[in-house]
Amino acid sequence: MTIARYTLRFPALDLNAVRRFYAEGGTPEKLVREIYRRITERGNDAVWIYLPPLEGAVANLPTDTSLPLYGVPFAIKDNIDVAGWPTTAACPEYRYIPAQDATVVARLRALGAIPIGKTNLDQFATGLVGVRSPYGVPRSVYNGDYISGGSSSGSAVSVAAGLVSFALGTDTAGSGRVPAAFNGLVGLKPTRGILSAKGVVPACKSLDCVSLFTTNVSDAQTLFDITRGEDAGDPFSRPLPRYSDAPGGTPRIGIPRESQWEFFGDVEARELYRQAVEHVRAQGNPVVEIDFAPFVETAQLLYSGPWVAERLAAIESFYKAKPDALYPTTRNIIGGAKKISGVETFRGLEKLAMLRRITAAEWEKMDYLLLPTTGTTYRVSEVMEAPLKLNTTLGHYTNFANLLDLCAIAVPAGTRPSNQLPFGVTFFAPAFHDHSVCQIAGSFLGEPLPVAQTQGVTLAVAGAHLTGQPLNHQLTERGARLLRTCRTAAGYQLYALGGTRPPKPGLVRTPGFCGPGIEVELWSLSSAAFGDFTAQLPQPMVIGEVDLDDGTHCKGFLCEPCAVTAEGTREITSFGGWRAYLASL
């Protein structure tokens, strides 16, 4: 069987649409003005907490058309910092103005993306409903009587309404997946720590993830690849291991035993899930039943266990000083942490460890777990009458993910016939299987994706292989992809080498040297392409390990020290990079 492709309510402003716009002569200023027109036309939809003035927004737009996200507009959940913009976490009295971008925002801006504004959320990212905010209630773009899902409510609606190409959310309990399901979107919840959480107001710091809302899986995978990276400023940051994470053979899809299906009376959602299961089976994937009970038991720990105390730890000083500033439901949830003892915390950790062992046995039976993103959806009025009970039902299929260290991607899976509201499913996989979970989701939607370069190598280039330089084609011809521009750590010197054609610099590691750091581009190559590329490397160039200014490291071009003594060579470290040096000539 085939599964009906979901039709977005508004035209998608996806990455390809933006690229076409610029290819046909559009400019970032025209696009931003059009976005502000659309925002104005929608009126007070409670999506935005902060939008900069239009004229200020168009005054500092990217100009480098070679950047991989040149002119791509995105929204930011208002618990993620943007330098100079207020961060509120949907609590006006918590408001502060950060001096620096969150790491993930800084990386996106460096790649040419345009931040449009800060979006509404369930206060302090506590909730899956999208109604716990003094800034109003964003609603599903398909029916304004229904919730948009939370906590990343405004971010999801901003993408679904065609106002931005993608949006940043966060996901501790399901906040990057539930709003995707209720607005017909793709919601990628990466492995914890792969996207830096530095500059994010924490909910549960040990569990939080930065998440991505897009209109297709390809965009989600692309954005994941160019924003990921270990961050020394985030204590929970982790690198993505350099190995292929795709399962061998035909992927086995796990589903709960049918007696464990829970749809809270939503018969249409139950039927759509059944169709999704039949769809993956028709695609040739073995479908295996697993015991879902330990996953549900894990999910219950998130709000009934000691992790509620971590929510209080995140804002304890503010909570003690201004408890009445919190939204009532949020205050009651976080305030419950005061009753949790150290003994209960260690009991909870022990219980989680046992549940991880039990669920690991279930993972031996499957490669991916396919679940409804939620069992049902609700009207805004229903949630207002029973805020805690209905929020709990929405987390039935989501709350366990970060506790069990899983990655997940939520995708559309049809429409409820009675009210035309979207239904969604989520694919789960163990930690670090982010690429393969995107691949299986793309296959489910009939959206072929390029094979992710999970066996690839990240290479730092500093000279003639930079974008626009004469040897850059040696990378692009081998299928390399530009990830981002950054700088080396301080202990490197740069030399303009004499007698090289075309002109080349030499990057030399100098222990004890403290310089400005050298501008480099990071490129991703498959292992085969990297081997072919390095086999043709001429003297005096070598490949070594290059330390970056964010504390990470990768392979990179270096130079034999003897080359810097050649006639005509000069040190150019003070320029901070090859491009700046060339511009000075």
- The catalytic residues are 77, 151, 175
Is residue 464 helix, strand or coil? coil
Looking at residue 201, the DSSP 8-state letter turns out to be -
The three-state DSSP-derived secondary structure of 207-236 is CCCEEEEECCHHHHHHHHHHHCCCCCCCCC
Block residue for tokens 């940043």 = 168
Query: What are the residue ranges of helices labelled H in 386-499?
Result: 387-394, 434-444, 473-476
- Are 29 and 58 contacting, i.e. CB atoms less than 8 angstroms apart? yes
Extract the tokens encoding 527: 């292992």
CA 207 to CA 173: how far, in whole Å?
Answer: 9
Count of Cβ atoms closer than 10 Å to residue 553 Cβ: 17
The three-state DSSP-derived secondary structure of 514-529 is CCCCCEEEEEEECHHH
Expressed in percent and rounded to 5, the helix, strand and coil fractions of the chain are: 35, 20, 45
Supply φ then ψ for residue 448, to 5 degrees.
Answer: -65, 135
CA 466 to the chain's CA centroid: 26
Count of Cβ atoms closer than 10 Å to residue 208 Cβ: 25
CA 27 to CA 63: how far, in whole Å?
Answer: 9
Extract the tokens encoding 495: 């030399």
CA 401 to CA 295: how far, in whole Å?
Answer: 9
Looking at residue 549, the DSSP 8-state letter turns out to be T
Question: What are the Cα distances from residue 40, in Å, to 54, 242, 548?
Answer: 11, 45, 42
Block residue for tokens 């039902």 = 393
Query: What are the residue ranges of helices labelled H in 283-394?
Result: 293-304, 307-321, 328-335, 342-363, 380-385, 387-394
Question: What are the Cα distances from residue 23, in Å, to 20, 70, 113, 163, 218?
Answer: 5, 12, 16, 20, 20
